[in-house]
């Protein structure tokens, strides 16, 4: 009986494990930009994109745009139109001439 309880306790602890890794859902779009690659995970349902910029993961939410699709947070913006895109830090373009690759 003690072995059974010990086994159940271990199984119970396994169910309490916390992970810091979040699962990011969406469609991956791959761009080639000025000699570097850029992968963007687009989640239309949540109206956001996830992207690594300057080595840091960024989650950008869709904002109003006069043309194309624009996603921003307090630091960066990802702006796409058709098969082209760019990344801005504030008002400065930091990644330009991005072309969607298949």
Q: Does 7 map to a domain? A: no
pTM of the entire structure? 0.75
Q: What's residue 35's pLDDT?
A: 87
Q: Does 57 map to a domain? A: yes
Q: What's residue 89's pLDDT?
A: 98
User: Residue 49: which of 96, 19, 87, 90 has the closest Cα?
Assistant: 87
Residues in the chain predicted with pLDDT less than 70, given as ranges, are 1-23
Q: What's residue 22's pLDDT?
A: 57
Q: Does 9 map to a domain? A: no
The total domain count for the chain is 1
Q: What is the CATH number of the domain that holds 47?
A: 2.40.128.200
Q: Does 16 map to a domain? A: no
Q: Does 2 map to a domain? A: no
Judge residue 95's burial from the number of C-beta atoms within 10 Å of its C-beta, 0-12 exposed, 13-18 middle, 19 or more buried. buried
Domain extent, residue 62, equals 21-101
Q: Does 82 map to a domain? A: yes
Residue 16: phi and psi, rounded to 5, are -95, 0
């Amino acid at each position: 009986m003690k072995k059974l309880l010990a086994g159940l306790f271990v199984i119970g602890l396994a169910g309490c494990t916390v992970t810091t890794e979040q699962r990011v859902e969406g469609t991956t779009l791959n761009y080639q930009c000025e000699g570097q690659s850029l992968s963007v995970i687009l989640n239309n349902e949540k109206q956001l994109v996830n992207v690594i910029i300057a080595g840091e993961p960024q989650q950008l939410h869709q904002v109003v745009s006069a043309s194309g699709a624009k996603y921003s947070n307090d630091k960066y913006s990802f702006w796409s139109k058709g098969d082209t895109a760019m990344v801005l830090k504030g008002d400065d373009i930091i990644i330009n001439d991005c072309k969607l690759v298949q």
